[in-house]
């Protein structure tokens, strides 16, 4: 099923994701890194099985929606990272935010970076709908949602009532939706 290239890319990517999850989150007792690891792994696998379909039938509605989601994913991640780093001034570990960001994209969603993962997963899923892509996009979606819930508990511990108030005024992943 997998070519040697796909298998090698999966193994190398998985090692990188394990190390990233350990050093950035789990080692620091930020356990949102565990479900996020599964979202990342799902994205890695989905990308490896879908890459050959990215440019098939480029003007079909399915492909156009796919590209829209992929572009939205890129916008979400760039806009949120730039604002996050500008306003939080984290230390060596970028997850050690010093203050709560509530402006820009964060004014509308609490987890734009995880929203980016969802848009990326659904965008790749639409490249070719098959049993594997369905299973993987469901895993990515569930893992992203669990990541948000676990991280919200961590943020409540860190920022207390300020974060609870922020939660009441913003959606989790997609403005005006969820």
Number of separate domains in the chain: 1
- 101 is a domain residue: yes
- CA distances 125 to 40, 70, 104, 111, 165, Å, are 14, 10, 28, 21, 35
Report helix angle 131-159 to 33-50, nearest 10: 150
State the pLDDT at residue 95: 83
- 177 is a domain residue: no
- 69 is a domain residue: yes
The C-alpha atoms of residue 32 and residue 21 are separated, in whole angstroms, by 9
State the pLDDT at residue 167: 96
Summarize pLDDT for 26-84 with one digit per residue, the tens.
998 999 999 999 999 999 999 999 999 999 998 999 999 999 999 999 999 999 999 99
- 174 is a domain residue: no
CB 77 within 8 A of CB 116: yes
Please name which of 72, 79, 116 lies closest in space to residue 101, comparing C-alpha atoms.
79
- 136 is a domain residue: yes
Summarize pLDDT for 82-92 with one digit per residue, the tens.
999 888 877 67
State the pLDDT at residue 107: 95
State the pLDDT at residue 97: 81
- 126 is a domain residue: yes
- Supply the range of the domain harboring residue 120: 4-169
Summarize pLDDT for 107-140 with one digit per residue, the tens.
999 999 999 999 999 999 999 999 999 999 999 9
- 175 is a domain residue: no
Q: Is 90 exceeded by the pLDDT of residue 96?
A: no
- 24 is a domain residue: yes
């Amino acid at each position: 099923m997998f070519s040697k290239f796909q298998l090698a890319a999966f193994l190398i990517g998985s090692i990188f994701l394990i190390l990233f999850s350990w050093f950035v989150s789990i080692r620091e007792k930020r356990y949102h890194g565990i479900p996020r690891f599964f979202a990342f792994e799902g994205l890695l696998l989905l990308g490896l099985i879908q890459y050959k379909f990215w440019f098939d039938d480029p003007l079909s509605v399915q492909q156009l929606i796919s590209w829209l989601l992929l572009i939205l994913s890129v916008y979400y991640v760039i806009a949120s990272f730039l604002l996050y780093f500008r306003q939080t001034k984290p230390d060596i570990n970028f997850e050690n935010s010093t203050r709560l960001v509530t402006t820009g994209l964060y004014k509308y969603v609490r987890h734009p970076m995880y929203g980016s993962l969802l848009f990326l997963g659904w965008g790749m899923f639409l490249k070719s709908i098959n049993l594997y892509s369905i299973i993987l996009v469901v895993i990515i979606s569930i893992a992203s949602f669990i990541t948000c819930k676990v991280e919200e508990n961590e943020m409540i511990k860190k920022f207390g009532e300020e974060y609870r108030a922020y939660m009441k005024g913003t959606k989790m992943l997609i403005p005006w939706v969820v």
